[in-house]
């Protein structure tokens, strides 16, 4: 497991590093055809840099989780603010991938007791997956609403979906339904195990409805008060 982890991390870090190094070399050697191309290269570098930071965040969370040291900083948070931060963060990547995101946040939602950064990370991982595992119909919806005195964050896609058997395993560390697919879209099989860890730490639940070829709906339910 440990070797797997090191190999995956190394691979995931090396790819964007190699591509940005090439772009930087081209810029340094003044081999750009135009100002516009120069700008495009800089934007690519900035994007890869952001992606690397996110990857590293995930790896760090994972490694803290492994050592059982993830400390959460609970405070009263407005659910809509968490959704907005996540949406702002994925916006650029969604645009680049041709994904459309619709957002629906119910009015008058109660605050939840949550660790802000961790809950944003939950939403980011779910939104990233929704985009990665969508093919032709790239319409993704993020809804935040109240149900049974709990606040629900729901991420719905019309992507490749999964079978009930796969669904039972996707929260396992390093589990990926189709490794050739994930090699293409990037990922280490850690995103959802991190999601589950964080949601558990908030005393919440996560439900999945999914159908092969039709799409998936992930619903995170946060009931409110948590034990610290
Ligand atoms: P990865 O880095 O591989 O995306 P995750 O832990 O986030 O790792 O997800 C585990 C696996 O669950 C993925 O490799 C993929 O096979 C499946 N999966 C996750 N989200 C979705 C989704 N929205 N639609 C279809 N499959 C999904």
Closest CA to 70 of 80, 55, 60, 82: 60
Say if ligand 1 is within 6 A of residue 134 CB. Answer: no
Please state the φ and ψ torsions of residue 218, each to the nearest 5 degrees. Answer: -105, 125
Sole residue written with tokens 């120069």: 38
Q: What span, in angstroms and rounded, lies between the C-alpha atoms of 131 and 99?
A: 6
Task: Give me 157's structure tokens.
Answer: 């896609």
Give the chain's radius of gyration (CA, Å).
19
The pLDDT assigned to 104 comes to: 97
Which protein residue has the closest C-alpha to ligand 1 atom 1?
189
Atom of ligand 1 nearest to the CA of 185: 4
In tens digits, the chain (228 residues) has pLDDT values of 556 667 777 777 887 888 899 999 999 999 888 999 999 999 889 888 887 888 888 788 877 777 766 678 899 999 999 999 999 999 988 998 899 999 999 999 999 999 998 999 999 999 999 999 999 899 999 999 999 999 999 999 999 999 998 888 888 877 777 766 655 666 667 889 889 988 998 999 999 999 999 999 999 999 854 443
The pLDDT assigned to 59 comes to: 80
The order of strands in the sheet holding 205-211 is: 100-105, 139-147, 150-157, 215-222, 205-211
Centre of ligand 1 to C-alpha 176, Å, is: 6
Which protein residue has the closest C-alpha to ligand 1 atom 14?
176
Instruction: For 132-161, give the DSSP string.
Output: HT--S--EEEEEEEEETTEEEEEEEE-S--
Centre of ligand 1 to C-alpha 52, Å, is: 19
pTM for this predicted structure? 0.81
Centre of ligand 1 to C-alpha 206, Å, is: 14
Say if ligand 1 is within 6 A of residue 133 CB. Answer: yes
């Amino acid at each position: 497991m440990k070797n797997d982890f090191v190999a995956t991390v190394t691979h995931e870090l090396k790819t964007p590093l190699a591509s940005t190094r090439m772009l930087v070399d081209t810029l340094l050697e003044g081999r750009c055809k135009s100002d516009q191309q120069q700008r495009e290269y800089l934007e690519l570098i900035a994007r890869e840099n952001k992606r690397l930071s996110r990857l590293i965040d995930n790896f760090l969370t994972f490694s803290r989780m492994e050592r059982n040291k993830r400390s959460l900083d609970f405070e009263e948070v407005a659910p809509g603010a968490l959704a907005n931060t996540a949406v702002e963060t994925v916006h650029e990547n969604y645009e680049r991938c041709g994904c459309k995101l619709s957002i629906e946040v119910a009015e008058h939602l109660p605050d939840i007791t949550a660790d802000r950064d961790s809950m944003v990370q939950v939403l980011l991982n779910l939104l990233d997956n929704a985009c990665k595992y969508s093919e032709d119909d790239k319409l993704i919806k993020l809804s935040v609403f109240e149900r049974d005195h709990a606040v629900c964050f729901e991420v719905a896609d019309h992507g490749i979906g999964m079978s009930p058997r796969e669904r039972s395993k996707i929260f396992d560390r390093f589990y990926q339904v189709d490794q050739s697919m994930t090699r293409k879209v990037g990922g280490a099989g850690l995103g959802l195990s991190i999601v589950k860890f964080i949601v558990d730490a908030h005393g919440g639940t996560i439900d999945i409805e999914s159908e092969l070829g039709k799409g998936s709906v992930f619903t995170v339910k946060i009931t409110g008060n948590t034990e610290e």
